[in-house]
């Protein structure tokens, strides 16, 4: 047994393994590309269960059921074979990652909470838990989870970024901005803190300020993981869209978001979500959909969480693959019917109408889309994703109401959406359409 740089026990006698874990912790929390070296470390330290678990986590982040089965499960199995020699924290991490790999997000969240309560210095467990809350959102619980370990992470820009994001999602924008700026002051190249600010600026309609900040941050993203380069560029594009600078948003999609790693589910989701918003804003996007639909097709029948399926099926329908979209919807429905307990509500009661409603919109069946999405309008976050990401579904319902002639209902939805704040140029255009 040895201890890592955070004083946490690791079941290994190898100094090299400990050094590798410390490097991975620093690189992973900073979202640096060097974090992928952990996979090589796993190959050379098969007897270190914790390294195997971290390698499994790297694959589960892919959000591809095929990749998880092919790559994550073998690492989990290797760690499980060492169960007898694992420390108590490592055993809990094993259980947590096993739950994550089979989409039992609620159990994974509970285990993450238990781990960080007992070992608050385990910032990797906290970071993994943050992602579980993306897949099964509960914004107030998420904030309690992250805020509870603040004392263990003073002067830590990665922790500040997590804390700022949780504050933003939980409806504390001023605190979120303050904490994100604190993290950026510690390290200007902290892309997750940039990301948290993106949520704050967007929620408050501070489009020009957000665009200027993100264009200033953007050069630093090149040193970080592709997923951050892509997703933060997506946030920059949202500022363009809400300001009706639609050609600029489409250029960002072509230049920074789509086509670098088209096989990546993360890149696919950001590209689909951006083009979908351009559809909602009435901007031509047809030329890009066939290539995106072709890339999405291999994953469209996978079941990880409903948010992903809604994007994949929309892309298939918009890319001219209606038969595949219908088949993927049918597979989703069959899977949803097999779920039990709380997951039955997520997959069947929320997921099925969400997926079908989004497919209906892509196929220009606006009345059907509105009929499906309206009853679940208050539960859209249950399908997964952040507030900014789930706003896509709210916008889809709004535009479906407008397109189906239900202007009064659309006007009411817009009033609720704005809650007294000044509309963005895009929202002002929608207001004109329902006047």
For residues 116-131, give the mean pLDDT.
98
- Mean pLDDT (the chain) is 97
pTM (two decimals): 0.96
pLDDT tens sequence across 150-163: 999 999 999 999 99
Q: Say whether pLDDT at 420 is over 90.
A: no
Helices (H) and strands (E) in the chain, counts: 25, 2
Element (H, E) at 3: strand 2-3
Question: Which tokens is 183 given?
Answer: 């993290």
The percentage of residues in the chain with a pLDDT greater than 70, rounded to a whole number, is 100
Q: How confident is the model at residue 105 (pLDDT cuts 50, 70, 90)?
A: very high
Q: Say whether pLDDT at 25 is over 90.
A: yes
Q: Say whether pLDDT at 1 is over 90.
A: no
pLDDT score of 37: 96
Burial 136-170 (b: 16+ CB within 10 A, else e): bbbbeebbebbeebeebbeebbbbbbbbbbbbbbb
Question: Which tokens is 210 given?
Answer: 């957000």
Q: Say whether pLDDT at 297 is over 90.
A: yes
For residues 28-35, give the mean pLDDT.
97
Q: How far is CA 308 from CA 10, 13, 297, 328, in A?
A: 35, 41, 12, 12
Alpha-carbon dihedral sign for residues 268, 273, 276, 282: negative
- Residue 369 and residue 375: Cα distance in Å, rounded? 11
CB-based contact 127:94 (threshold 8 Å): no
pLDDT tens sequence across 199-255: 999 999 999 999 999 999 999 999 999 999 999 999 999 999 999 999 999 999 999
The C-alpha angle with vertex 239 and arms to 373 and 243, in degrees rounded to 5, equals 90
Is CATH 1.25.40 what the domain over 226-435 is classified as, yes or no? yes
């Amino acid at each position: 047994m040895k201890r890592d740089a955070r004083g946490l026990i690791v079941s290994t006698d190898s100094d090299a393994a400990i050094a590798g874990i410390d490097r991975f912790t620093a690189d992973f929390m900073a979202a640096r590309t060097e974090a992928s070296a952990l996979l090589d470390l796993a190959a050379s330290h098969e007897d270190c269960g914790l390294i195997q678990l971290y390698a499994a986590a790297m694959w589960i982040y892919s959000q591809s059921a095929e990749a998880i089965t092919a790559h994550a499960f073998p690492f989990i199995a290797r760690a499980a074979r060492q169960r007898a020699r694992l420390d108590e924290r490592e055993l809990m991490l094993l259980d947590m990652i096993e739950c994550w790999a089979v989409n039992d997000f609620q159990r994974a969240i509970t285990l993450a909470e238990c781990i960080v309560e007992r070992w608050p210095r385990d910032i990797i467990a906290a970071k993994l838990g943050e992602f579980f809350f993306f897949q099964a959102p509960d914004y107030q619980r998420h904030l309690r989870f992250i805020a509870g370990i603040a004392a263990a992470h003073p002067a830590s820009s990665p922790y500040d970024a997590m804390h700022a994001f949780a504050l933003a999602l939980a409806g504390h924008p001023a605190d979120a901005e303050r904490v994100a700026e604190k993290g950026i002051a510690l390290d200007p190249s902290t892309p997750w803190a940039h990301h948290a600010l993106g949520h704050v600026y967007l929620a408050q309609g501070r489009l020009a300020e957000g665009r200027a900040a993100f264009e200033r941050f953007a050069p630093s993203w090149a040193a970080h993981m592709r997923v951050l380069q892509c997703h933060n560029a997506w946030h920059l594009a949202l500022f363009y869209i809400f300001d009706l600078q639609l050609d600029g948003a489409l250029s960002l999609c072509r230049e920074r978001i789509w086509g670098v790693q088209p096989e990546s589910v993360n890149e696919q989701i950001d590209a689909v979500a951006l083009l979908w918003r351009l559809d909602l804003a009435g901007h031509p996007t047809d030329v890009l959909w066939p290539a995106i639909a072709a890339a999405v097709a291999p994953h469209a029948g996978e079941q990880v969480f409903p948010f992903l399926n809604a994007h994949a099926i929309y892309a298939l329908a918009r890319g001219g693959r209606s038969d595949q979209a219908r088949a993927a919807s049918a597979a989703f429905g069959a899977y949803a019917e097999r779920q039990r307990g709380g997951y039955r509500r997520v997959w069947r009661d929320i997921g099925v109408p969400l997926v079908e409603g989004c497919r209906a919109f892509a196929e220009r069946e606006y009345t059907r889309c509105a009929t499906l999405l309206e009853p679940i309008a208050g539960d859209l976050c249950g399908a997964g994703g952040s507030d900014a990401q789930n706003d896509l579904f709210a916008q889809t319902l709004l535009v479906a109401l407008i397109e189906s002639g239900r202007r009064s209902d659309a006007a009411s939805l817009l009033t609720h959406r704005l809650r007294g704040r000044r509309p963005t140029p895009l929202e002002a255009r929608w207001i004109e359409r329902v006047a």
